[in-house]
Structure 1
Amino acid sequence: MSRNVITIDADASVIDAIKTMLSHHISGLPVVDRDGALVGILSDGDFIRRVEVGTEKRRGRWLAMLAGTSQVALDFTRQYGRKVNQIMSPNPITIEEDTPLEQVVQLMESHGVTRFPVMRDKKLVGMVTRTDFMTAIANLRLDLSSSSGNDDQICASVIAALAHAPWRPAALNVSVRDGVVSLRGNIRNDNARKATTVAVENVAGVKRVDDQLVKITYPPPEEDYGGGDFVSLEEEPSTEDDQPL
């Protein structure tokens, strides 16, 4: 998370908020009151529907009735408001410092948000955004690419990475030379080919994948769902009930 959090006062002007976001190259701002308590969140999405650029919502009489007077009034305030507290999203969802990463992802997906204020004892101590995930991934990939091993070790790791994958190639042959992995065998479909390449590329020390896999149309499609050879049942002897009427 980012610990040096830039905030904006709830009574600040919309123009001041925009200037702050642009000058610091950020897409969201926690909003605080005079006591420093978190009261809302302001994001770049709050400026999409604005009268200044002619993108405010225009509803006819019937659509306004369907939306309801409360929603119409709220939209008007956010589209014409001149203070941060008039256009911000109040009562933002927050997380704690020890919130598991998986839970953070689930909250982002379920609520459709891109950032969370991080709290400690009801005080704002940081922000977690989607950019933090990008930074973490980049750092991890840098560490992975810097690791190395001899070709035999890489070959064994590639085979292990594909050993239990349901989409693994049939009759797979793996060879490695100077970190370049050559794959030979039969593959069922393009998605399985991509997954195989990705699995191999994630093995430490792999520099490149030489895909020599051959796409096959057999086994039949039912094989993709865990099927197999069809086994015919023994024919049962007919009984009196089987006789035609």
Structure 2
Amino acid sequence: MKKEVISIPLNSTLRQAIQLFIDHHIGTLPVVNEDHHLVGILRLQDVIDMGMPDFIHLVTDFDFLHGFGAVENQRPDPQIFEKKIEDLILEPVSVHEDSGLFRTAALLHKHALSDLPVVDHEGRLVGIASHVDIGVALLSYWLS
């Protein structure tokens, strides 16, 4: 688990969230209230999907495509960047700081997440665990 977590306040805009994704090279952004309680998560993949063309969801085989041509140069409507993230976030999925590795791995798998916020007994964000964090911890234990 990483204890230094990049998070964002609930009243932030999508533009602010995007800037955090860019600046910190992260895939999951925990969303917190003023008391630092986890209230949701924003995934990089969901933000990217907002700018994808609609036909992406209709095509099942992309092997024949080498590129999307001019579509790749399009940008979303600039007004979307001013949306409040409270309208875009997913329900908070988290694991308690005392939980074991298998529970954490199972939650990551069940919710198709790459990172899982870690909270304390009061629901405050205290860390974030990734597939890599869990995998390295398990493998280290297995080899010890």
So what's the TM-score if we normalise by structure 1? 0.43
Once residues 87 and 56 of structure 1 are traced to their aligned partners in structure 2, the CA distance between those partners, rounded to angstroms, is 21
Aligned equivalent of 2:87: 86
Indicate how the Cα distance of structure 1 residues 13 and 96 shifts in structure 2: closer, same or farther if over 3 A, else same: same
* 1:49 positional shift: 2.6
Q: Does 2:14 match 1:2?
A: no
- Change over 3 Å in CA distance of 1:56–1:30 after alignment to 2: farther
C-alpha distance in 2 between matches for 1:113 and 1:29: 11
How is 1:46-57 mapped onto 2 (pairs within 5 angstroms)? Answer: 46-50=46-50, 52-55=51-54
Cα deviation, 1:148-167, whole Å, max 9, x if unaligned, reads: xxxxxxxxxxxxxxxxxxxx
Partner of residue 74, structure 2: none
User: Residues 9 and 31 of structure 1 are in contact (CA less than 8 Å); yes or no, is this contact kept in structure 2?
Assistant: yes
Residues 131, 54 of structure 1: CA spacing in aligned structure 2 closer, same or farther, 3 A cutoff? same
Alignment coverage as a number of residue pairs: 119
Structure 2 Cα separation of the partners of residues 56 and 99 of structure 1? 41
CA drift of 1:113 comes to 2.1
- Give the C-alpha shift of residue 18 in structure 1: 0.8
Q: 3-state DSSP class of the match of 1:89? A: coil
RMSD across aligned positions (CA):
2.8
Deviations 1:123-142 (A, max 9, x none): 2111111131355478x4xx
After superposition, the C-alpha distances for 1:147-204 in whole angstroms (9 at most, x for unaligned) are: xxxxxxxxxxxxxxxxxxxxxxxxxxxxxxxxxxxxxxxxxxxxxxxxxxxxxxxxxx
Instruction: Find the aligned partners of 1:118 and 1:58 in 2 and give their Cα distance.
Output: 32
**How far, CA to CA, are the matches of 1:109 and 1:129 in structure 2?**
11
CA contact under 8 A between 2:105 and 2:134: conserved in structure 1? no
Gaps of 5+ in 1: 60-79, 145-245
Return the letter of the residue paired with 1:85: E
Percent same amino acid among aligned pairs?
31
Distance 1:56 1:89 in 2: 23
Cα distance, 1:86 vs. partner?
A: 1.3
Q: Tell which structure's C-alpha radius of gyration is larger.
A: 1
Alignment check: 8 A CA contact 2:28 2:114 kept: no
Change (3 A) 1:27 1:58: closer
